[in-house]
Structure formats: C-alpha cells, structure tokens
Amino acid sequence: MARPSDRRRGSDPARRVAWHVCRRVDEGAYANLELPKVLKAEGIQGRDAAFATELTYGAIRMRGLYDPMIELAAGRPAHRIDAPILDTLRLGAHQLFGMRVPAHAAASETVGLARDVNGAGAAGLVNAVLRRLSERTREEWTEQLTAGLNPIEALAIRHSHPAWIVRALRGALLAAGTATRESVEDDLQALLEADNAAPHVSLVARPGLCTVDELVGVGASRSVLSPVGAVLPSGDPGAIRAVRETRAAVQDEGSQLVALALAGASMPGGDRHEEWLDLCAGPGGKAALLATLAARQDAVLFANEVSNHRTQLVRKTLAAVLDAGIEVMVGSGDGRDLGGEEPDTYDRVLVDAPCTGLGALRRRPEARWRRTAGDVPTLATLQRDLLTSAIDTARPGGLIGYATCSPHVAETTQVVDEVLGRRADVIREDARPLFRDTAGRQVTDLGAGPTVQLWPHLHGTDAMFFALLRKQT
Ligand SMILES: C[S@@+](CC[C@H](N)C(=O)[O-])C[C@H]1O[C@@H](n2cnc3c(N)ncnc32)[C@H](O)[C@@H]1O
C-alpha cells in the first residue's frame, strides 16, 4: 500500500495519517504502534498529531456505532463497501459525531480525503453518505439503531463494544462486588464510557533510579493513586530524559499498584534474602518496578518470559536497572515448566498472566474487534497452568500474586477458585489492604475482596485484577 507521503497532497495531512493507520490496522497492525511511526514519517507534531490521534483512535473504537449508521446512510451492508472507502467514512463519522469538528468542515475535508486516497468516483459516494449522516444527531441515529434491541445489544451499539464483552463486563462488575443488581446498569454505562475515553499518560518513577519529583519537574503531576506514579497531561513521554534512560516509564497506575502490593505484603521470618520470580515478565514493566523494590529489600528478582523477542524487550526495559548494578536475572522459558524445574524456591512470585486484555480497551482501540469469546477458555487453561506452576515454584510460606489486565471472571476469580479447589497447600489472603494510595490510605472501591478489582471508571486505571495467595508451611 502506498504511504501517505507517496500520495497527492491535496487533503489534510492529519486526516491522511489517520486513514493510513486505519488501513494498516485493518491489515492486522496495532494502532498504538503504527500511529507514532506514521506521525514521525510525516513530520506531524503538536496539535495536528493530537487531532490525528483522536481521529484514528475514535474511528477504530467507535466502528460498532458508526458502521450501522453508515449502512443505513449508504443503503448497503458495511461488508459491501470497499474497505478503504469504509475507513474514510468512519473517519468522517467520527469527525461528525465524536469530535468538535463543524459539520461542513467534517464533510468537505473527508470528501477531499476520499478524492486523494479513494479516487474521484468514491468521493461522490462519500459526499452522499456524509450528507445523509449529518442530517441527524448522534443521539437520533443511536435511538433508531437501538430501537427494539435487548439492553445488552443496545449498549453494545450505543457504546461500540461487542455484545459478548458488554455481557462479560456486566458479570464482572457484579462478581467483584463493585456493582449491585440495582447499580449495575449505571456502573456498566460508566465503564463502557470510560473504555471510549482517551486515557491519560501515566508514568512510573522507578525507585532508586528516578523520583516522582523529577517527573513533576518536567511537567507531570503527582499521581494520587500510586506513590511511585505521575501523570503527564500532554506531550510526548519519549521526550522525557528519565523515560529515555528507562529510569522512568509509561506504566498504568494499576500495574504499579499490583507490583507495590506484592512487594509490600508481609513475610514472616524476618531477614532472609528473598528470591522473587516474575513468571510472565515481557515486556518488563512490572519486572523493572519489582527489581527496584526487591533491591531495597535486599532481594533478587528472576524475570522469566516465554517469547524470545519479548525476553529481549525485558532486557531493554531493565537497562537502567542493570546499569545501576541491581541484581536481576532474565531468562526465557515456558512458565508452566518452572514449577517442576524449581519447586519450593521463591519467596514472592508474580503471575501477570497472558489474558484477553478486556481491562485495557481504552489503550488498544482495535482490541475489542479482534478478541472473540472463544479466546477466553483457551487463555483460562493457560492461566490455570501458569498459576499452578507459580504455586509450585513458591517456597512454603511464600506468596503468589496472580494478576490480569482483564476483569472477565473466567480469567480472574474462576481461575483462582479452580486452582485452589485442587490444592490444599494454598490460601487466599485479603489483598485489599496492600493497595495504598499516595497518601498511604487504602484505595477505595476495590470490591468485596479478598481479591482486588480496579476499574477505569472508578480508579482511572486499567481494569487490573489481583489475587494474593500464600503457600502453607
Ligand atoms: C500480560 S503480559 C505480562 C506483562 C508484564 N508483566 C509487564 O508488566 O510488562 C503476559 C506475558 O506472558 C507471556 N507468556 C505467555 N505464555 C507464557 C508462558 N507459558 N510462560 C511464560 N510467559 C508466558 C507473554 O508472552 C506476555 O509477555
């Protein structure tokens, strides 16, 4: 496919970038990886880059609402519209219904884009569809599209999530004790809205390598939630020296709290030199935080990852940690085998399990359209095997933290319940007191316990789940 730079330069560069990224995403790319590359290649920065980002992410995220609108306006199913033209129409719809672009500018700029990237013939179709779309408000279209649907299907269209995900999130809100039967519809709506809002950029100051004050000094504000966190209101985190040097990094505050919780859990038996294991470490965000926390407690970390490529990423993430002389080992292996290879060894073990990522939909605009309900049982089997192996690697008295960035009960409490149901040597501890905010107070709204469930609409974090288990002596 031609890059935007190869094409005639009649249309707005930011919109062309958005279209190009949407095409690449249709072909299997990830928007969060592709967009920065294309913005850089096109030399687009500042407000134009922010516009391109909002347009790209919104058009991809909201296609569950925009495609049915486009179908009505075009008088044909979306799969009968050429994919490159459909992407142009989605971008037009997002300018009309999701951004504060005046309708005439949204239409004329999108037709200009169509002329450039889809050809003169397609521009006529795009013009006609956008004119029809702009005859009604978003709410009017939504009312028409959801009339007569059951509540889950209606929410799926209104908030542009696949219905199976809406159902799973509703079940998770109830199961975690976050919502009651009375409040669940409001909670669900707030959660779905939070999934569609751009998340702020959270940074971690890796203890001993960087301070929150240093990040505040370059424009970030102190995190309310994470004692090692900061929030960047705008700008490119890559421009921050501490981030470039891997002394700090972009990391969700929920992930920070998970690592802090496991490191902070009490371990009777006093002053032994602990050995910690991160069983699924790639790309190394939690491993880097754990390694610095371990160093403060005179402990050492072994970071394990199954994929060779991701093991390399762990090494890159740990660059500043290793440069500082902090003792951390990095290895590549299947976490399911470690329980047999190194039984009864580690004091603290983190299983940050591969999961559907349904808790991080804000960050990955295409993820909701790629995942299927069929992924869940496959992942749950892997998660059970990894947790079982993690328990085997823990020494008697040792701790195991099980985390996912999905709140789906089949990946969270059901995994823990099933594994614990088969073993008499592990108990579940209340993890909630370990989640402490910057002021030292227990984080609110963590659920009914003993496990912890964080939420984008309540905490501003990804929907991280965390269970703390202790192996009996
Ligand atoms: C959720 S990610 C971990 C994120 C990481 N802890 C961080 O904070 O950067 C899960 C990781 O598990 C790895 N993984 C998948 N199957 C595995 C296995 N059988 N053994 C070890 N790691 C595995 C994946 O490659 C992926 O890197």
ipTM: 0.99
Q: Supply the pLDDT for residue 348.
A: 98
* Euclidean distance between CA atoms 202 and 232, whole angstroms: 6
Contact call for residues 262 and 468 (beta carbons, < 8 A): yes
Using the atom order of ligand 1, give the atom closest to the CA of residue 279.
Answer: 21
Amino acid at 382: L
Q: Supply the pLDDT for residue 9.
A: 53
Report whether CATH 3.40.1160.10 matches the domain 4-138.
no
Average the pLDDT over 418-425 and give the result: 97
What distance in angstroms lies between residue 370's CA and the mean position of ligand 1's atoms?
A: 19
Catalytic-residue membership of 355: no
Provide the 3-class DSSP secondary structure of residue 249: strand
387 lines ligand 1 (CB under 6 A): no
Of the CA atoms within 13 Å of residue 344, those in its CB half-sphere come to: 4
Probe residue for ligand 1, chosen from 262, 280, 371, 406 as the CB with the greatest number of ligand atoms within 8 Å: 280
Phi and psi (nearest 5°) for 395? -75, 155
* Per-residue DSSP letter, 160: T
5 confidence band (pLDDT: 50, 70, 90)? very low
What distance in angstroms lies between residue 153's CA and the mean position of ligand 1's atoms?
A: 33
Share of the chain above pLDDT 70, in %: 98
- The pair of structure tokens assigned to 369 is 């359209």
Q: Supply the pLDDT for residue 257.
A: 98
Residue 285 annotated in ligand binding: yes
- The pair of structure tokens assigned to 333 is 């292996």
Closest by CA position to 173, among listed 455, 469, 388: 455
Closest by CA position to 272, among listed 300, 250, 302, 309: 300
Average the pLDDT over 59-71 and give the result: 98
Length reported for the chain: 473
Residue 281 annotated in ligand binding: yes
Report whether CATH 3.40.50.150 matches the domain 253-471.
yes
285 lines ligand 1 (CB under 6 A): yes
pLDDT tens digits for range 173-215: 999 999 999 999 999 999 999 999 999 999 999 999 999 999 9
β-partners of residue 304 are 331
Closest by CA position to 19, among listed 34, 99, 369, 107: 34
Q: Angle at which helices 83-97 and 46-61 pack, to 10 degrees?
A: 110
- The pair of structure tokens assigned to 244 is 């470039």
| Chain centre to alpha carbon of residue 42 | 27
Q: Supply the pLDDT for residue 7.
A: 43
Q: Supply the pLDDT for residue 2.
A: 39
What distance in angstroms lies between residue 193's CA and the mean position of ligand 1's atoms?
A: 28
Q: What burial class does residue 342 get, using C-beta atoms within 10 Å of its C-beta: 0-12 exposed, 13-18 middle, 19+ buried? A: middle
- The pair of structure tokens assigned to 243 is 């981030």
456 lines ligand 1 (CB under 6 A): no
Average the pLDDT over 130-141 and give the result: 98
Residue 227 annotated in ligand binding: no
pLDDT tens digits for range 25-39: 999 999 999 999 999
β-partners of residue 352 are 403
Q: Radius of gyration over alpha carbons of the chain, in Å?
A: 24
Probe residue for ligand 1, chosen from 257, 305, 387, 466 as the CB with the greatest number of ligand atoms within 8 Å: 305
Provide the mean pLDDT of the chain.
96
Alpha carbon of 171 to those of 68, 233, 409: distances in Å?
26, 33, 7
pLDDT tens digits for range 268-311: 876 789 999 999 999 999 999 999 999 999 999 999 999 999 99
Residue 254 annotated in ligand binding: no
Which residue in 22, 210, 355, 405 is the catalytic one? Answer: 405
The answer to whether domain 4-138 and domain 253-471 are alike in fold is no
For the chain, domain boundaries: 4-138, 202-250, 253-471
Closest by CA position to 23, among listed 11, 38, 10: 38
Please name the residues in contact with 274: beta carbons below 8 A apart, sequence gap of 6 or more: 267, 294, 297, 298, 299, 300, 347, 348
* Euclidean distance between CA atoms 415 and 409, whole angstroms: 8
